[in-house]
Amino acid sequence: MLISKGAVPHGMLFIGINGIGKRTTALALAKALNCTHSRNEEPGPEVYHTAIPCGICKQCKKIESGVHPDIYFLEPQGQFIKVDRIRDLIANLAMKPFEAEVRVVVISDAMAMNVQAQNALLKVLEEPPPRTIIILTATNTTDLLPTISSRCQQIQFAPLSKNFIEKKLCNDYGIDAKAAIIIAEIAEGSLDKAVLMAKKGWINFRDLVISGLEDAQEGSSGIRMSLALKLSAKRDTAVNALDVTASWLRDLMVIKYDPERITNKDWMERLERLSEKAEEKTILNGLEAVYETRKRIEGNANTRLAMEVFILKLFGQGWIK
């Protein structure tokens, strides 16, 4: 509707978790604003656009392939988007668009801009160049300056439905239907996360982690430390193992009250048996240990040491009694 009315804001902020289509939407918007087949110049002198680009005209193809000279995509290099990159962008925007009717700038993960970069961008948002639209994407606005957020029209993106993710995994990525259902439950509405889980064999990894935890519950301290060593082989392995543990512990709690809302539905019977022996306080203590450990690892703590402390806490207070 905004496109057809010619009322697209000069600054927009797409907010939502990763993997739900923020960048894809920005790309589609850039196409729609420049598609030569979707233009309607009748009646009168004004040019109107439909919201659906053709995808086959010269402008659409250039934007899709990432070679259009007037469509800019900025992403973090490392952890940050530094001020020099924003200054280079501003210098480019000072010139007229080469061929686009509407120039589009997409800054992904805008919260990665440091304060200097955000202040530099603020000047452009306050006085946008003609025929230019700036789109920021972010998971939240916490790390964005209020002056940045206030000068953009904020659009909230909801997580994708489980049914949508299941179908995409099966139809576009050839994932087995049973595996797709399980992954869609755990992906928290993010297609990117779901695809990554499928490609990395997440279900097998989950099963190995949970089996290891159950063995460690009944095993010796040596077995527990061996598990900690295995799970801390890589930083990503440790973080993923913590996510699996959190999911499993939450299910042990949830199944007591609302079994249909558990995540690991393929292990329903096993969870029901274990939940009868798991005390609520113990489960909550376990979840707290998960979150504390993840925070330490993300803060660059020694991964092996962090996982060893985690395993000791998890079983020292009795994960399942």
3-state secondary structure the chain: CCCCCCCCCCEEEEECCCCCCHHHHHHHHHHHHHCCCCEECCCCCCCEECCCCCCCCHHHHHHHHCCCCCEEEECCECCEECHHHHHHHHHHHCCCCCCCCCEEEEECCHHHECHHHHHHHHHHHHCCCCCEEEEEEECCCCCCCHHHHHCCEEEECCCCCHHHHHHHHHHHHCCCHHHHHHHHHHCCCCHHHHHHHHHCCHHHHHHHHHHHHHHHHHCCHHHHHHHHHHHCCCHHHHHHHHHHHHHHHHHHHHCCCCHHHCCCHHHHHHHHHHHCCCCHHHHHHHHHHHHHHHHHHHCCCCHHHHHHHHHHHHHHCCCCC
For the chain, the domains span 11-156, 201-316
Q: pLDDT tens digits, residue range 4-52?
A: 556 688 999 999 999 999 999 999 999 999 988 765 544 434 444 556 8
CATH topology of domain 201-316: Zinc Finger, Delta Prime; domain 3 (1.20.272)
User: For residue 169, what pLDDT is reported?
Assistant: 93
Report the pLDDT value the prediction gives residue 151, as an integer from 0 to 100: 92
What tokens does 286 get? 């376990």
State the pLDDT at residue 50: 59
CB of 164 within 8 A of CB of 19?
A: no
Q: What per-residue confidence (pLDDT) applies to 312?
A: 86
| 11-156 and 201-316: identical CATH topology | no
Which residue(s) pair with 11 in the sheet?
Answer: 134
Pair type for strands 48-49 and 71-74: unpaired
CATH of 11-156, one of 3.90.950.20, 1.20.1050.10, 3.40.50.300, 3.60.15.10: 3.40.50.300
CB-based contacts of 52: which residues, under 8 Å, 6+ apart?
Answer: 32, 38
List the one residue out of 164, 161, 136 whose CA is nearest residue 150: 136
The pTM of this model reads 0.76
Token pair 């668009």: residue: 97
List the one residue out of 195, 219, 213, 293 whose CA is nearest residue 251. 213
pLDDT of residue 314: 84
Where the chain has pLDDT below 70, the residues are 1-7, 38-51, 317-321
The whole-number pLDDT of residue 262 equals 87
Question: What pLDDT score does 42 carry?
Answer: 46
